[in-house]
Amino acid sequence: MCDGIAQLAEYDRLAPPNVTIPTRYYPPWYMLHTPHNPPLVHTVGDLCAQLLTPGAFDVARVLRLGAYGCFLDGPVGHTFYKLLDDKVGSRDDQSNPATILTKTAIDQLIYAPIMTVVFFVFLRFLEVGWQPDALLATMDRVVPTLLANYCIWPFAHYVSFRWIPTDYRILYNNVISVCRHV
């Protein structure tokens, strides 16, 4: 293991300035707080939801939700929350109620509606392929989903923006999401 760390340190030293290579050992649970956890969380959440409800088990649905977490929710969410932390408020006022409420409002009024539409369109695309009416076909589900989310997420995001470090925010959001869906 020490040889591997020494090699990483050497690669890090030789890497261009805009490329970073980790030079210390990360424990196995480290990946849970990175943008790589949504595929796992979406998959586990859907597995739990399907196991707790009677009916046929849909493997394709589990894979679709995992794909959504992998290709959209993880990377987009991670980038969005990093950007939000960088642009709204300073590093010194992250516990300021005005900063927290501003971040929550931006999340709920801009990010949530967009990503809810993206969620339904992406899943429909994976189910039936591209169709010109994909957006219209999913719109009847968007408003009820947003209204249900508004019962949970404003408070959950207040907690998130107040006490959860940015690197753990996606994991926190995914745990809340799994609990909501199960």
CB 137 within 8 A of CB 124: yes
Q: At what angle do helices 74-87 and 37-52 cross, to 10 degrees?
A: 120
What backbone torsions phi and psi does residue 151 show, to the nearest 5 degrees? -80, -20
Please give the mean pLDDT across all residues of the chain: 78
Q: What is the pLDDT of residues 2-25, one digit of tens each?
A: 444 444 444 445 544 554 444 444
The residue ranges of every structural domain in the chain are: 1-29, 34-181
pLDDT of residue 9: 46
pTM score, whole prediction: 0.75
Q: What is the pLDDT of residues 139-170, one digit of tens each?
A: 889 999 999 999 999 999 999 988 888 777 87
SS3 assignment, position 159: helix
Dihedral (CA of 64, 134, 180, 163) sign: positive
Q: Which two tokens stand for residue 22?
A: 């980790």
